[in-house]
Structure 1
Amino acid sequence: MFLNIDQVGKTFKDQEQGSFEVFSNIKLSIEENQFVSILGPSGCGKSTLLSMIAGLEDISEGAIILEGSEIKRPGPDRGMVFQEPSLFPWLNVKENVMYPIKKLLSKKEAEERVNHFLKMVHLSKFKNHYTYELSGGMQQRVAIARALAMDPKVLLMDEPFGALDEQTRHIMHDELTKIWLETKKTILFVTHSIQEAIKLSDRVVVMGTRPGRVIADFKVDLPRPRKRDDAQVIELENQVMELLKDEINKVLKEELDHEISH
């Protein structure tokens, strides 16, 4: 298996409250070239799991194995795109995309690769602009180009379109679908949006909370591009929503009980 998440758990330790278990015994296998969305309510640990795959967060139990090698730290085989683009404002678009590869490749190779991915995300004519001169959607396209320029085995995306307005978000969905079809990168995509997960993915992994766990794994075998009003999309969306309803209510009840007790 390309990426194997084998009985993985995460516990945070707090001096005041002791230890807090985010999740335990998470088991997932991801095939190469798959686009997999991880969906669930706040607190289920989906972003924490993504950070563990990236090597940014320690694993409390179990192991995450990528192509036979156990993940213990960050590496160039995994590219990460965050909700905020995390770009360098003092560098222009081209320099931002080149930053992680400029010491790994010759200047000519690096420039060729940067130009290739800027063309892919439709930002070639903005390559000399500073990132603060760009819209939110354009900045996120720079971040995607930067991650792709590293040629990672896995592209990890943590709610990358969560801060965008709805219209821009739908444009980004179409752009990301085209990028995935062209590159066939393995993508793990964390989101709160059922519609977004179904529109983009081959699989939708649904996590529950308190404790965090996998409660369903849907195969999305629908032709791309997918329309929001397609009957099959709506049917699958309703199935996932029905599953998540109890989990969301559980979170709301706990938050309400906490407010009342304080």
Structure 2
Amino acid sequence: MKNTNILEVKNLTFGYEDEPVLENFNMSISKNEILLIDGENGAGKTTLLKCITNIINNGKNIFINGVEVFSDKSVLKNISFIMSEDTLYDYLTLKENIIFFKTLFDEDDEYVDNVKSLCNELAIDKYEDYLIKNLSQGTRNKLYLSIMLSKKHNILILDEPFTALDKNTQSIMINKIKSNSKEKEKCVIMVTHVSEFKEISTRVMTINKILN
């Protein structure tokens, strides 16, 4: 039987110094799923996402489309990771940030069109010539989400990026995430405390804190 899992974590153990965070952890997610990862603070939710995205742990025990990240980092291009803090460049304009990320992600001109379309939908296109450092946090968040959601990916990972969004933006993001998960061979993994986003999940996985 064909393996339909896009992402698998197999027997992952990780900790900081002498403090274990994840121990023999296993999970998988298949196409078209929206997985909500739940758990108390300190349970390892963000640590897990950082392991999956190769920020820590060097890709060991993480498999994307059956390929271990440790042995082939190129599979990471299948991931778009939206963190709680943006990675925008303060001394570039909104427009220049879009071009920068187009180059960074090795995207084509369609990517720029998609980002600009989403910026227009979120009513921030009027700031295209403003330096990022002069924009409000809400506007920065909208641009960051537009940039990351427009990146080509099979796996969309979101770590608490919604807390500072107004209701209209939340509604737009919910629709984008739902449509994203319905596309062929795509899935979504979320960590969030915003109830509106919890409601669109197709599965909930709870991580329990390891007791020392």
Q: In structure 2, what is the equivalent of residue 247 of structure 1? A: none
Q: Which among 170, 174, 177 is matched to residue 174 of structure 2?
A: 177
Which structure has the larger Rg?
1
How many pairs align?
200
Q: What is the alpha-carbon distance in structure 2 between the residues aligned to residue 32 and residue 158 of structure 1?
A: 19
Structure 1 residue 105: Cα displacement: 4.2
What does residue 187 of structure 2 align with? 186
Matched residue, 2:12: 8
Question: Do the aligned partners of 1:98 and 1:149 also contact (CA within 8 Å) in 2?
Answer: no
Deviation at 1:194?
6.9
User: Which amino acid in 2 is paired with 1:11?
Assistant: G
Query: Cα distance, 1:57 vs. partner?
Result: 0.9
* Aligned position for 1:204: 204
Where do residues 139-154 of structure 1 align in structure 2 (5 Å cutoff)? 139-154=140-155
Greater RCO structure (CA 8 Å; 6+ sep): 2
TM-score by length of 1: 0.66
Residue aligned with 1:36, SS:
strand
CA distance in 2, matches of 1:150, 1:179: 13
Identity of aligned residues (%): 22
Aligned to 1:33: 32
Q: Which runs of 5+ in 2 are unaligned?
A: none
Q: Distance in 2 between matches of 1:116 and 1:170?
A: 19
The letter for the 1-side match of 2:51 is M
The amino acid across from 1:9 in the alignment is: T
Work out the CA distance in 2 between the residues paired with 1:70 and 1:120. 38
- 2:158 aligned partner: 157
Equivalent position SS for 1:208: coil
Question: Is contact 1:117–1:148 with CA below 8 Å preserved after alignment?
Answer: no
Kept in 2: contact 1:12–1:20 (CA 8 A): yes
CA distance in 1, matches of 2:110, 2:170: 29
Contact 1:98 1:146 in 2 (8 A): no
Partner letter of residue 95 of structure 1? E
Give the aligned partner of residue 67 of structure 2.
69
Partner of 2:86: 85
Shift of 1:35: 1.8
Indicate how the Cα distance of structure 1 residues 169 and 123 shifts in structure 2: closer, same or farther if over 3 A, else same. Answer: closer
User: 1:180 and 1:21, CA in 2 relative to 1: closer, same or farther beyond 3 A?
Assistant: same
Q: Secondary structure at the match of 2:61?
A: strand
Distance in 2 (CA, whole Å) between partners of 1:129 and 1:82 is 23
**Residues 40 and 46, structure 1, Cα contact 8 Å, conserved in 2:** yes
Q: Which runs of 4+ in 1 moved over 6 A?
A: none
1:93-104 alignment, distance < 5 Å: 93-102=94-103, 104=106
Which amino acid in structure 1 is aligned with residue 38 of structure 2? L
